[in-house]
A and B are shown apart, each in its own frame.
Chain A
């Protein structure tokens, strides 16, 4: 199975800060990586697919980059409504696997 190592597991930042989350796969996943946001008590929402494609309707402050084994998710200017846990997920090989999540808190 492909292991997805996500870091940090949690972070605290101020409104307006730039926030970066990384996800490292145990092998090359050829940009077959998505990012999801899960707010407390809610279902996950797709934000970024195939490493850098922003889902329609998602604010442009969210972005993704990377290649090979290493991927980055960025919030360019943190907003209060971004309080959530963020997950990466690979679909290059079955079984589909998720990162452990990054809990983003607002200072």
Chain B
């Protein structure tokens, strides 16, 4: 069974940093591109980042470039999101999601974790 389990969400002060993790199991992690998607409380979905199977290719929306860094460790079946200079509008549930097999680095997201809550507040 495919499982994605996020962790690392916490209450953090404005300007602070946080590193999220996503532990994958039940599939060959290194053969799938991965994404992070977030959802602010009561709001819609927002794409955060994508990373290729090997980690060579990485993508962000312009609004997050320079503050967020996606990475992966295929030996540990893990995906990460380093978030710096956090502000109140980064408050959200952060989901990791797998790209459907046969697609590129940011195709349909066929499996999602349950999400981890990041709250940015003083």
- A interface list, Cβ under 8 A from B: 1, 34, 36, 38, 42-46, 49-50, 55, 87, 89, 91, 94-101
> Could you write out 19 A-B pairs with CB less than 8 Å apart?
A1-B61, A42-B114, A43-B113, A44-B95, A44-B109, A44-B112, A45-B112, A46-B109, A49-B107, A55-B108, A87-B44, A87-B45, A89-B45, A95-B61, A96-B35, A96-B47, A98-B44, A98-B45, A100-B44
Closest B residue by C-beta to A1? B61
Given contact pairs A43-B95, A98-B47, A101-B45, enumerate 6 new A-B contacts (beta carbons under 8 Å): A44-B45, A46-B108, A55-B110, A95-B62, A98-B45, A100-B44
| Distance of B64 from chain A, by nearest CB (Å) | 9
- Contact residues of B between 61 and 79, Cβ < 8 Å to A: 61-62
Closest B residue by C-beta to A6? B44
A98-B46 CB under 8 A given contacts A44-B95, A91-B106, A91-B107: yes
Residues from chain A with a CB closer than 8 A to the CB of B106 are 91, 94, 96
B114→A49 contact, CB < 8 A: no
Residues from chain B with a CB closer than 8 A to the CB of A96 are 35, 47, 50, 106
With most chain A CB atoms within 10 A of its CB, the pick from B62, B97, B109 is: B109
B interface, size bucket: 20 to 34
- Contact residues of B between 94 and 122, Cβ < 8 Å to A: 95, 97, 100, 106-110, 112-115
Residues from chain B with a CB closer than 8 A to the CB of A100 are 44
A34-B108 CB under 8 A given contacts A43-B115, A46-B100, A49-B100: yes
Residues from chain A with a CB closer than 8 A to the CB of B100 are 46, 49
Closest B residue by C-beta to A32? B107
| Distance of B78 from chain A, by nearest CB (Å) | 18
Residues from chain A with a CB closer than 8 A to the CB of B114 are 42-43
Measured in the bound complex, the distance between the Cα atoms of B95 and A33 in whole Å is: 20
- Contact residues of B between 20 and 69, Cβ < 8 Å to A: 35, 37, 44-47, 50, 59-62
A49-B95 CB under 8 A given contacts A95-B62, A98-B46: no
A95-B108 CB under 8 A given contacts A43-B114, A43-B115, A49-B100: no
With most chain A CB atoms within 10 A of its CB, the pick from B37, B45, B95, B114 is: B45
